Structure 1
């Protein structure tokens, strides 16, 4: 007995002591319900088919035209009132009277009163009598008979007017610029005053020129003499031009 108890003790070790404060974990209250629903919805016949199949009855067979859509039955009574057949026509009834038409007389009147067909223009180009119409061939001058033949289109007339207006605006702008840059004519009084000022300036420069030393032995003296001679020549040219011309123009710069 001691040996058996020793073997039982060796095969089944004693349970471990549970640590204080540690639980088995959260267990949901709906655990059994979820297992039941999973087993219920599980398809056990996924590949082999259902375990039990309902056998069709002999009376439930497919009949001819059973799958075609059927119309609703006609209502014999409308709004609970029976339709009374009318034996007497109403006063608003007008019977259809068929009039026999004489198409021979009608066609004869149409031919007599109608206008005759105009002959079509054609051309015969072979001795066998082969002919072709002139109108679709382009040889018949039908375009020159149009009302607008030879009349300029509206877009061309409009374009010409725009070009003419642009040309007038350009000429007006050019004249305005020429007027702004036009030369101003000096009056007689202004011309006399300018001439007097030039002669006075010439006298001053000539007086300075006369006071130069006779001997120009340095570069500065030579350059000063040449400068005074250039100014005197320019003044003499301007004085001669103003005295020669009675009307003098000055540009507006």
Structure 2
């Protein structure tokens, strides 16, 4: 295959890099020109200020007729309206015959003050307390050295809230004590009267006699397990009855616990 024009070939059959192409100059007609170029140029010329930093080239000279006149800067009242809301203002009327103008009477303040001082109550002297030899003093009443609080009517009286609190505490203690007494009464042992003690003794002795008769009726030969167990049970009941009868007869007062 023949090599392409403009391309090089090496001896080993490989093709080398192509040589650079010459640059072609572009004409001015081929360059990109924005369609807003004229508009932007016009806006830039329009907003441009030639005296932006130096000020205007010419300053208007004030006219000689516009000089500062006298009292021109003083505030002036608005001109009075002849008609207001379509109504004419009433004309100034002449005062009537019964009108009496208020006459200001000049008071003699010196005499008034003198009478007030003569008739007034003299001020009480204020007590001071001097606490240094240089004459440093302060009012005695607000210092706390005057015993004025002990002269109050309610001095030494127990406040109401303290009395109310003590009453509540006492009531709570009474309720607690009543509950404790009630619990103790419930748990207290019952005293056995003489009649009940006698009847219980008679019943125990009668039961003992029945068990003793049953024990004597038992066979002499206990060759079986049942006979041995029955004899041991009867003996145990007899011992328990004898213990109870002895305890009732020994003690004078008997108490029974409530279960």
1:160 corresponds to 2:146: no
Distance 1:52 1:132, change over 3 A: closer
> 232-241 or 166-175, which moves further after superposition?
232-241
Cα drift, residue 86 of structure 1: 0.9
Q: Distance in 1 between matches of 2:209 and 2:258?
A: 29
TM-score by length of 2: 0.53
Cα drift, residue 210 of structure 1: 6.3
**Which one has more relative contact order, counting CA pairs under 8 Å at least 6 apart?**
1
Structure-to-structure mapping, 1:40-55, within 5 angstroms: 49=43
> 209-218 or 108-117, which moves further after superposition?
209-218
TM-score by length of 1: 0.54
Deviations 1:93-135 (CA, angstroms, capped at 9, x unpaired): 5533323333333333333333332333322233333323233
Structure-to-structure mapping, 1:1-253, within 5 angstroms: 49=43, 75-78=81-84, 79-89=86-96, 95-206=101-212, 232=238, 234-245=240-251, 248-253=254-259
Q: Distance in 2 between matches of 1:164 and 1:51?
A: 104
Q: Distance in 2 between matches of 1:237 and 1:74?
A: 134
Cα contact 2:215–2:234 (8 A) shared by 1: yes
Q: Distance in 2 between matches of 1:152 and 1:186?
A: 53
Q: Distance in 1 between matches of 2:40 and 2:239?
A: 128
Q: What do you get for the CA RMSD once the two structures are aligned?
A: 4.4
Cα contact 1:45–1:51 (8 A) shared by 2: no
SS in 1 for 2:162: helix
Distance 1:126 1:50, change over 3 A: closer
SS in 1 for 2:83: coil
Distance 1:52 1:125, change over 3 A: closer
Q: Distance in 1 between matches of 2:40 and 2:227?
A: 130
Q: Distance in 2 between matches of 1:106 and 1:216?
A: 140
Cα contact 1:183–1:251 (8 A) shared by 2: yes
